[in-house]
Structures are given as structure tokens and as C-alpha cells.
């Protein structure tokens, strides 16, 4: 029996289970992956302040965001192709989020569709949206999200064009998945993965089924069609357009500086997510944690500020809250855990994070997460230098 004590244990086990093509897709970043590495390493440069002889009994780990009280201060980010990591992966992820009372975000490029998730639950979830060149199709996705009862729309704004991801190119990643030569040999060695994927109901982008029957998508394939739909002409006017169409909570994801945070608020968003797309877009950009404090200061509590990128532990969550985040999101840890053992893997992940939070709070003299601020760090001004 494998014992998992941290997120890295889950990462290493998922690497053993998954075909290299799939592991590299979730694990990698763009170009030289400098921003990807900084997203994690910059957390380590923030020093937690230890406090002793403080009564921390009755700790509270919950956090409220956008009017909903969650049991942990971290939710699940949108991840493309989740159903390739575990059969019906997005449905499994949503069920785990319900069990742990944390938010779940379905990606536009998910394998399970909006309708499949709606059929699996009565609880609202979030839906992540790209504004595509085909505005009519984008509008139809917004309507489907409303019909599915989604409580928030997460509008990703940092993908006007796709950053080059060397690993994916070298691996020949495609959708639907196609394996040949050395890739097929690699897949055949991953018995645990391919045997369980045989029972998967969905094998392509569930939210794009309408486009799958279109002439251009047949010619190019869904992955190529998606790439052709990224729109370099996007502007804040498009965010305002989405705001007019969507009556629920609107979250803008992909903000990395204070000017863009203010633009997002002016465009009518209800929250912003500090994110650099997990280091998968502009390589050389700042890490999310190093960008957080200036954005939180500029927003000045007009809307909640969430952080996505680099969260790997309960300690990282405390660091993010200390620098001004109201809530945290995570993507890669969720996929590692999903790939390891589906529901059991996700239970393991959230148990690890909860335990790390509890121990960290006890050793820092924190009883409630509402007490976490810059005073909980010995060097809160580290990234202002």
C-alpha cells in the first residue's frame, strides 16, 4: 500500500500511472518553463512567523467567497481533458468537491460536458469560459452554463493565443488521443491507466460536440479547431459583452497586474483570479504569489481576490492568504490525485491539505483563517523589492 504524505508524492505516483503524453500535458509549461518553476519556488521565499503558547483549540478552516461558505479555503481550478486522467474525471472531481464542500470549476475543454455534470448533481458548480472567434458558439456556451445551473462563470482572459508548450509538441498530443510508435509502447506499459479508461463514456471534448459535427472541425480535429478559435483581437469590451449576457457571478481569471485588475472591476466582474495560466502562456512572466500583494492592494476589497498557480501545500495557502488572497485555487494537485486513484486520490489530497493547514495554524498561533494577514509572515515585503 502506497503512503502519500504530500502533493509531491501524488505527483510522482501519477507520473508512474499516466502515459507520458498526458503527464507532460498537465505537468508542463510554455517554452523554457521558467514561470512554471517560479510559481512554486517563490512560495518558499516567504517565511512563516512561528508563535508559541497561543491557544489554537477549535480552529476554523472555512472561508466564504462570493456568498458561499466553504469548509476549506481552496477550490478546484478548470483543467482541460480531465476525463483522460480518470474515467468521467470531471464528474468524479465534482463529487469530491461536494464531499469536501469546496468549489469546482469545469473547463470549456473538459471531456465530460456541462449537461453530464448537471445530471450528476443538484449543487451548483462554476464554469470556465474562453471567448472564441465564433461569438455565437461562445454565447451558446454561456446559455448552456445558465441552463446547467452554474453559480459562477470563470472568464479566462490570458489566452488570446496559445503559448508554445515544447513537451506537447514533442509528444504529438492530439484530441482525440492518438498513439503511435514509441507512444504506443509507453501506453501499453501503463496497464492501470488504459484498463480503467476502457470504461470511460466520453473520449473527446464534451462541450464542443456541436462543433465536432461542423465541417471545419472534421477536417482539422477538435484540438486544431480550438487553437484556431483563440482570438488575438480580444479586449475589455468582450468582458463587458459577457457581463451583459451572464446574470450570475462573473470571475475574471488571468490577472497578473494591478492595472488589469482595475479594468476587470470596471468591466463588471465580481471577483478576479490572480493567474498566469499555470506558467503555460507567457514564459518569463512573474509568479502569481509575487504579483498578489500589489493586486490585492489595488483592488482594495472591492471584489474578492483569488490566487491560482503554485499552491502545493497548506503552508502555501497560508502564505497566499497572508498576502491578500481571499481564497485559493489549485489545478495540478487535483489532476495528480485524480490520476492516482480517482475519488480516493482526491480524498487523500484534501486530507493532506487539511492536515497541513491545521498543523501550520497551530504552530503559527492562528485559530481562525480570518486572523491571517501580512503579520503572519516574517518578510511580507519580500516581493516589493
Q: Residues with catalytic annotation?
A: 277
User: How far is Cα 218 from Cα 232, in angstroms, rounded to an integer?
Assistant: 24
User: How do 305-308 and 105-106 pair as beta strands?
Assistant: unpaired
* Spatial contact of 280 and 30, defined as CB atoms under 8 Å apart: yes
Question: Which residues, other chains included, contact 351 with Cβ-Cβ below 8 Å and sequence gap of 6+?
Answer: none
* Spatial contact of 274 and 178, defined as CB atoms under 8 Å apart: no
Q: What is the DSSP string of 269-332?
A: -SEEEE--GGGTSSTTPPPHHHHHHHHHHHHTTSS-EEEES---SHHHHHHHHHTT-SEEEESH
User: How far is Cα 154 from Cα 156, in angstroms, rounded to an integer?
Assistant: 6
Which three cell numbers mark 17? Answer: 500511472
User: How far is Cα 51 from Cα 360, in angstroms, rounded to an integer?
Assistant: 10
In this structure, the number of other CB atoms found within 10 A of the CB of residue 3 comes to 6
Question: Which residues, other chains included, contact 135 with Cβ-Cβ below 8 Å and sequence gap of 6+?
Answer: none
* Spatial contact of 314 and 293, defined as CB atoms under 8 Å apart: no
Nearest to 319 by CA among 129, 82, 39, 123: 39
Helix, strand, coil percentages (3-state) for the chain, rounded to 5, are: 50, 10, 40
User: How far is Cα 87 from Cα 309, in angstroms, rounded to an integer?
Assistant: 25
Amino acid at each position: 500500500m502506497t503512503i502519500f504524505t504530500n502533493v509531491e508524492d501524488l505527483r510522482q505516483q501519477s507520473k508512474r500511472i499516466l502515459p507520458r503524453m498526458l503527464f507532460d500535458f498537465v505537468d508542463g509549461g510554455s517554452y523554457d518553463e521558467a514561470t512554471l518553476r517560479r510559481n512554486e519556488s517563490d512560495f518558499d521565499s516567504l517565511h512563516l512567523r512561528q508563535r508559541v503558547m497561543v491557544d489554537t483549540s477549535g480552529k476554523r478552516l472555512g472561508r466564504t467567497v462570493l456568498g458561499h461558505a466553504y469548509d476549506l479555503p481552496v477550490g478546484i481550478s478548470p483543467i482541460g481533458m480531465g476525463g483522460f486522467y480518470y474515467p468521467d474525471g470531471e464528474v468524479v472531481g465534482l463529487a469530491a468537491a461536494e464531499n469536501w464542500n469546496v468549489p469546482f470549476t469545469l473547463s470549456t475543454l473538459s471531456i465530460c460536458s456541462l449537461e453530464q455534470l448537471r445530471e450528476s448533481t443538484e449543487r451548483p458548480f462554476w464554469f470556465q469560459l474562453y471567448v472564441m472567434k465564433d461569438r455565437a458558439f461562445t454565447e451558446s456556451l454561456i446559455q448552456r452554463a445558465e441552463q446547467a445551473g452554474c453559480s459562477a462563470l470563470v472568464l479566462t482572459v490570458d489566452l488570446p493565443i496559445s503559448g508554445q508548450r515544447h513537451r506537447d509538441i514533442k509528444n504529438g498530443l492530439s484530441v482525440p488521443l492518438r498513439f503511435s510508435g514509441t507512444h504506443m509502447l509507453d501506453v501499453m506499459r501503463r496497464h492501470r491507466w488504459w484498463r480503467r479508461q476502457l470504461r470511460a463514456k466520453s473520449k473527446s471534448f464534451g462541450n464542443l460536440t456541436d462543433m465536432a459535427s461542423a465541417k471545419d472541425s472534421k477536417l482539422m480535429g477538435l484540438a486544431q479547431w480550438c487553437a484556431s478559435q483563440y482570438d488575438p483581437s480580444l479586449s475589455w469590451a468582450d468582458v463587458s459583452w459577457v457581463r451583459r449576457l451572464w446574470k450570475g457571478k462573473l470571475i475574471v481569471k488571468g490577472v497578473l497586474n494591478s492595472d488589469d485588475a482595475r479594468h476587470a472591476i470596471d468591466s463588471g466582474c465580481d471577483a478576479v483570479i490572480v493567474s498566469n495560466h499555470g506558467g503555460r502562456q507567457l514564459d518569463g512572466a512573474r509568479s502569481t504569489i509575487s504579483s498578489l500583494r500589489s493586486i490585492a492592494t489595488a483592488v482594495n476589497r472591492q471584489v474578492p481576490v483569488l490566487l491560482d498557480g503554485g499552491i502545493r501545500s497548506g503552508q502555501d495557502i497560508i502564505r497566499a492568504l497572508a498576502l491578500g488572497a481571499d481564497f485559493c485555487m489549485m489545478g495540478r494537485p487535483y489532476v495528480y490525485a485524480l490520476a492516482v486513484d480517482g475519488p480516493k486520490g482526491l480524498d487523500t489530497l484534501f486530507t493532506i491539505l487539511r492536515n497541513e493547514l491545521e498543523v501550520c495554524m497551530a504552530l503559527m498561533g492562528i485559530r481562525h483563517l480570518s486572523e491571517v494577514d501580512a503579520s503572519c509572515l516574517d518578510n511580507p515585503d519580500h516581493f516589493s523589492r
